[in-house]
């Protein structure tokens, strides 16, 4: 068995793509298989790159990013590489089940919404102005679900809190995110929940030397704004990748795996730059999310701009 992955961005971005590269490297070390990846793969080139891997004998292909799913063709109504190469197992990422999923496609559900419930609670507890904001890159179903989860949690803490929702228009453009962040800081927002990739560095630049706090996603970015940083919704994609690999090795070439909250995805604790009481309350909420005492639905309804 040989595994290859395609990544949408640079493998040294310290974010989503770095995590993809690390997951491939970990499975190579842990499972003792040949594994590799191609970074900075544009969507129009995804099919060609995956076919090059297949031609070199790779029989498990992981597309790290939902933007590549059309090239794969996840269900039986779609024509893509999964239909063309029935003996190759494809691993795709989505945020909800796919009806008619093909027999050689595994789906990893990234489980974004549950983490943003905890993030929303942390933001509400940290805010002194009663104004918080969510900044995403593009308004997609998963980002709507994140914002909706954060809204529910924040209002459970403070029913009167004002929650602004913005999308900068690009996950990887720090300048656009910086402009958006500066604009909402001028409106009195004192906690920003980021759901961007490279764009987050523009947000971190905007909050530096202010009293505005920030949460991030995927990796720990404390060092970029140590006095403003609360926490990150962290990810370890190797948890999902190794599970799927073991299933494929045993002959199960199709399935649906939700990244488990608490291991594959988790909130960094303790929270920084907040009170001990806020830390304790968010820790309790996280425990309830893990146990199922609090459940979070995937609500992709447009949450509107707020507040």
pLDDT in tens, 33-81: 999 999 999 999 999 999 999 999 999 999 999 999 999 999 999 999 9
Q: What percent of the chain has pLDDT over 70?
A: 100
21 contact partners, CB below 8 Å, separation of at least 6: 7, 11, 37, 39
Vertex 296: Cα angle to 291 and 302 (nearest 5)? 170
pLDDT tens digits for range 229-271:
999 999 999 999 999 999 999 999 999 999 999 999 999 999 9
pLDDT tens digits for range 213-233:
999 999 999 999 999 999 999
Cα–Cα distance list, 300 to 119, 145, 229 (Å): 17, 5, 28
pLDDT at position 138 is: 87
Assign domain 112-228+273-291 to a CATH class. alpha beta
Q: How far is CA 202 from the centre of its chain?
A: 18
User: Any bridge partners for residue 59, and if so which?
Assistant: none
Element (H, E) at 266: strand 265-267
Q: pTM score, two decimals? A: 0.92
Assign domain 2-109+236-258 to a CATH class. alpha beta
Running DSSP on this structure, what letter comes out for residue 254?
-
Q: How far is the C-alpha of 229 from the C-alpha of 160, rounded, in Å?
A: 24
- The residue-averaged pLDDT of 92-97 equals 93
Q: How far is the C-alpha of 163 from the C-alpha of 130, rounded, in Å?
A: 8
Burial of residue 141, with CB atoms counted within 10 A of its CB: 0-12 exposed, 13-18 middle, 19 or more buried: middle
pLDDT tens digits for range 145-172:
999 999 999 999 999 999 999 999 888 8
Q: How far is the C-alpha of 92 from the C-alpha of 125, rounded, in Å?
A: 36
Q: Which two tokens stand for residue 136?
A: 């995403």
User: Any bridge partners for residue 301, and if so which?
Assistant: none
pLDDT tens digits for range 185-199:
999 999 999 999 889
Domains 2-109+236-258 and 112-228+273-291 share a fold: yes
For the chain, domain boundaries: 2-109+236-258, 112-228+273-291
Q: How far is the C-alpha of 254 from the C-alpha of 63, rounded, in Å?
A: 15
- The residue-averaged pLDDT of 75-91 equals 96
Pair 1, 41: CB distance under 8 Å: no
Q: What is the mean pLDDT of the chain?
A: 96
Burial of residue 57, with CB atoms counted within 10 A of its CB: 0-12 exposed, 13-18 middle, 19 or more buried: exposed
265 contact partners, CB below 8 Å, separation of at least 6: 110, 111, 114, 115, 233, 234, 235, 236, 259
In the predicted model, is pLDDT for residue 86 greater than 90?
Answer: yes
In the predicted model, is pLDDT for residue 180 greater than 90?
Answer: yes
Coil/strand/helix, residue 150:
helix
Pair 267, 231: CB distance under 8 Å: yes
- The residue-averaged pLDDT of 127-133 equals 97
Q: Give the count of beta carbons closer than 10 Å to the beta carbon of residue 238.
A: 20
Q: What percent of the chain has pLDDT over 90?
A: 94
């Amino acid at each position: 068995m040989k595994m290859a992955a395609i990544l949408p961005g640079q493998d040294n971005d310290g974010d989503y793509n770095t995590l993809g590269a690390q997951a491939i490297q970990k499975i190579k070390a842990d499972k003792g298989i040949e594994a590799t990846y191609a970074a900075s793969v544009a969507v129009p080139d995804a099919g060609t790159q995956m076919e090059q891997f297949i031609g070199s004998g790779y029989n498990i292909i992981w597309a790290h990013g939902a933007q590549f799913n059309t090239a794969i063709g996840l269900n039986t109504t779609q024509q893509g590489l999964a239909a063309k190469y029935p003996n190759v197992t494809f691993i795709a990422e989505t945020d909800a089940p796919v009806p008619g999923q093909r027999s050689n496609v595994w789906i990893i559900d990234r489980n974004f919404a549950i983490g943003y419930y905890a993030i929303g609670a942390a933001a509400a507890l940290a805010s002194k102005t009663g104004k918080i904001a969510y900044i995403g890159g593009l308004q997609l179903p998963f980002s709507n679900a994140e914002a909706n989860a954060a809204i529910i949690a924040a209002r459970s803490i403070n029913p009167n809190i004002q929650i602004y929702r913005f999308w900068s228009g690009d996950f990887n453009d720090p300048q656009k995110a910086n402009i958006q962040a500066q604009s909402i800081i001028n409106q009195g927002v004192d906690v920003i929940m980021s759901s961007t990739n490279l764009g987050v560095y523009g947000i971190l630049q905007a909050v530096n030397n202010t009293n505005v706090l920030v949460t991030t996603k995927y990796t720990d970015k404390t060092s970029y704004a140590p006095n403003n940083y609360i926490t990150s919704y962290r990810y370890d994609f190797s948890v999902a990748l190794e599970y799927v690999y073991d299933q494929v090795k045993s002959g199960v070439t199709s399935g649906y795996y939700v990244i488990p909250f608490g291991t594959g995805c988790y909130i960094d604790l303790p929270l920084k730059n907040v009170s001990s009481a806020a830390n304790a309350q968010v820790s309790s909420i996280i425990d309830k999310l893990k146990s199922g005492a609090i459940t979070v639905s995937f609500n992709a309804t447009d949450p509107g701009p707020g507040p």
